[in-house]
Amino acid sequence: MSAAICAFVEAHYDDDETRNRLCAPVSLLDDQVGWLATTLGNMMNQGVWSGEPNLNEWIANNRLDAFSAVIRDADMTIAENKAIMEKLGANLMPAISNLQKLIEQASGER
């Protein structure tokens, strides 16, 4: 998926500043702190992508991104599905804040 996003961005955006903003690298590490940092990096990138309508639509319809398909195909007329999506949305910013705190805490312990 990462390579596909990079290819889409390369083909559809003309300036390097935008390309770099949309393709921020995310390290894949083998420890708990690395997992936290990877998760935070992925969440931050997804936030940036959501502000780009063409890229956001392409990701939502890309077969490589299973989570987008789940969201896209969820029947929002079902109260339980709607409640889950609202809960995800309400907890996004607190989750980012908590990840940042956990990374900072773990970095201080090393």
Domain ranges of the chain: 27-109
The 10s digit of each residue's pLDDT in 29-77 is 888 889 999 999 999 999 999 999 999 999 988 989 888 888 888 999 9
Distances, alpha carbon 11 to alpha carbons 15, 16, 19, 25, 55, in Å:
11, 12, 10, 18, 11
Both tokens assigned to 98: 């908590």
Give the other-Cβ count within 10 Å of 82's Cβ.
Answer: 13
CA distance 10 to 6: 6
83 φ, ψ to 5°?
Answer: -65, -40
Task: Report pLDDT for 33.
Answer: 86
pTM: 0.81
CA angle (101, 102, 108) in 5-degree steps: 90
Residue 110 has pLDDT above 90, yes or no: no
Q: What is the mean pLDDT of residues 2-11?
A: 96
Task: Report pLDDT for 52.
Answer: 96
CA distance 53 to 93: 21
